Amino acid sequence: MTLQNTEKKPMLQMNNLSKQFKLHLQHSTELTVLQDFNLSLNPGECVRLSGPSGMGKSTVLKLAYGNYRASSGEILVRNKEGQLLDMTQASARTVLHLRSHSIAYVSQFLRVIPRVAAIDIVAEPLLESGSASISPEQAREEAARWLTRLRIPESLWQLPPATFSGGEQQRINLARSFIKPRPLLLLDEPTASLDPSNTQTVIDMIVQARNKGIAILGIFHDDAVAQKVVNRTVVMRPFNSNL
């Protein structure tokens, strides 16, 4: 990954972003979660989204990853050619391309793929089409390194993570995202279910990613964790437009 020529240019920019949810079970009432939200994120900085539960923090990450469609506004993400693309206007194919090369996302919950072994779930991003050519064996070796670093016992590697504990699933999710570094990293409470040793490992992983020039937008429930990784905090208030 070469980040030199994108230094100081934002990796992610959200301009006047708004999101309303239509609540179909409630006679299509609209719930406004974001209104005129603005954010700019540079390579090498870790910005914390903070604020009370329900303020729309996870929604911001899901919008940036293209899981949710914005109601209005722009979400500009820098692609690997260095151009800013608007996620709100992007085709499904472009969204997949950005996810593969530009955006990694650690969601709060692992989306378990039935019957696929933990080690293969972690290795999979390295084997996606369009990734550097690497053999399945090499991808598994790399996955094994991340599983080891995150203290997943080897006895679990060949098992599907459906029955894993919350903390184990969270570490599979982290391994799967960190195995393929991308210049924008979205983290939704990445240490929420982890014990102190694994929390420290994840802090180290985040700081290393940041120092390599990765732009990180994160939600951290734990102030002590945030203090160790964050450069700047954006406090989300109802319809805050001056961020």
Ligand X SMILES: Nc1ncnc2c1ncn2[C@@H]1O[C@H](COP(=O)(O)OP(=O)(O)O)[C@@H](O)[C@H]1O
Minimal distance in Å, beta carbon 219 to Mg ion?
6
Q: Which residues contact 57 (CB under 8 A, 6 or more apart)?
A: 49, 50, 51, 188, 219, 236
* Binding at 71: pick from Mg ion, ligand X, none (beta carbon under 5-8 Å per type): none
107 binds Mg ion (CB under 5 A): no
Q: Is the dihedral of CA 218, 214, 15, 85 positive or negative?
A: negative
Tokens describing residue 77: 């993400």
Minimal distance in Å, beta carbon 214 to ligand X?
22
Closest CA relative to residue 144, chosen from 175, 111, 107: 175
Count of CB atoms situated within 10 Å of the CB of 204: 13
Among residues 21 and 158, whose Cβ is nearest to ligand X? 21
CA–CA dist 42, 44 (Å, integer): 6
Candidate residues 58, 71, 107, 169; the one interacting with Mg ion per rule CB under 5 A: 58
Among residues 63 and 123, whose Cβ is nearest to ligand X? 63
Minimal distance in Å, beta carbon 216 to ligand X?
17
Tokens describing residue 35: 């209104």
Q: Which residues bind ligand X (CB under 6 A)?
A: 21, 31, 33, 53-59
Among residues 58 and 191, whose Cβ is nearest to Mg ion? 58
Among residues 100 and 108, whose Cβ is nearest to ligand X? 108
Minimal distance in Å, beta carbon 242 to ligand X?
18
Whether 130 contacts 101, CB under 8 Å: yes
Tokens describing residue 229: 């990784």
* Binding at 55: pick from ligand X, Mg ion, none (beta carbon under 5-8 Å per type): ligand X
Among residues 60 and 147, whose Cβ is nearest to Mg ion? 60
Closest CA relative to residue 195, chosen from 162, 151, 160, 231: 151
* Binding at 54: pick from ligand X, Mg ion, none (beta carbon under 5-8 Å per type): ligand X
Among residues 49 and 123, whose Cβ is nearest to Mg ion? 49
Task: Determine whether 181 is exposed, middle or buried from the number of CB atoms within 10 Å of its CB (0-12, 13-18, 19+).
Answer: middle
Polymer length in residues for the chain: 243
Minimal distance in Å, beta carbon 17 to Mg ion?
17
Q: How many CA atoms lie within 13 A of 155 on its CB side?
A: 1
- Nearest residue to Mg ion, by Cβ distance, number only: 58
191 binds Mg ion (CB under 5 A): no
Instruction: Please report, as ranges, the residues that interact with Mg ion according to CB under 5 A.
Output: 57-58
